[in-house]
Amino acid sequence: MATTYAEATDGSTRDAGPAARLAHVSKSFPTRAGQHLVLDDISLDVAPGEFVTLLGASGCGKSTLLNLVAGLDAPSTGEISTPGARPALMFQEHALFPWLTAGKNIELALKLRGVPRPERQPKAEELLNVVRLEGAYGKRVHELSGGMRQRVALARALAQDSRVLLMDEPFAALDAITRDLLHDELTRVWRETRLSVLFVTHNVREAVRLAERVVLLSSRPGRIAREWRVDIPQPRRIEDTAVAELSAEITEELRGEIRRHGQH
């Protein structure tokens, strides 16, 4: 069945039903040898305001799953529903237009959303303040550091005014210190906005550092192998003992999935 986008009729509390739902979703791609099954029978609910990380080895279908939820592709079988507008999507690369300023990049998303011209600049400046880039409205992309560019990309995603934010390894290309700082910023923005976040990563500690729930996908085809509820209080540090201990448990499970795949 094709992806559907169901309207939410009430607020974004967790009792209002899932912010995103995948029901028995599978995805295959044609090859010369026939259909290649990438995702197999994925059922997953993301509650309003919940932060979920998708974890798995390279090639397990994490990004494919995110593209399906974003509506960039359709599942081969199963159904995906999200409330209201399509989810906002943030990529590993910032994907900012280099000929536009930081503010104008955000204004483009506001324009596509139908925000009237007089309201765009004030709203873009407000969103830059949300990601702590006050005064960056007129800066060109080449004037921004890698971390600043990703903050602008986050502000642009927030400009789409979706209640679901999809993030495809957005910090993978950054150095460890910048990535840690952006973990703090993302956690703060999430707690302030109460967005539902579905965050793809292959970094186990990043998954535990950020999420309320970690979902592990098996390899080829991707299936939900196991889930963990992360009850460690925020704010967390990536080096915290509790984070390290849960990361070690999840890593061992991930290694087992990789070994099982290697035996086929």
Label the pairing between strands 224-229 and 213-217: antiparallel
What is residue 33's predicted lDDT score, i.e. its pLDDT?
Answer: 82
Backbone angles phi, psi at 112, to 5 degrees: -65, -25
Domains of the chain, CATH where assigned: 46-74+163-264 (3.40.50.300), 96-161 (no CATH)
CA 128/CA 106 separation, integer angstroms:
9
pLDDT 10s digit of each residue in the chain, 264 long?
334 333 333 344 555 689 999 999 999 998 888 888 999 999 999 999 999 999 988 888 999 999 999 999 999 999 999 976 789 999 877 789 999 999 999 999 999 999 999 999 999 999 999 999 999 999 999 999 999 999 999 999 999 999 999 999 999 889 999 999 999 999 999 999 999 999 999 899 999 999 999 999 998 899 999 999 999 998 899 999 999 999 999 999 999 888 876 644
Residue with tokens 């795949």: 261
Calculate the average pLDDT of the chain. 89
Give the predicted TM-score (pTM) of the model: 0.89
Contact criterion met (CB below 8 Å) for 199 and 230: no
Residue 34: what pLDDT? 81
The Cα 74–Cα 26 span in angstroms is: 10
Asked whether 228 and 54 are in contact (CB, 8 A), the reply is no
Max CA-CA distance within the chain?
Answer: 60
- pLDDT for the residue 91: 83
pLDDT digits (tens, 9 = 90+) for 28-86: 998 888 888 999 999 999 999 999 999 988 888 999 999 999 999 999 999 999 976 78
- Residue 262's pLDDT is what? 64
Strands (E), 47-176: 51-55, 77-81, 88-90, 164-168
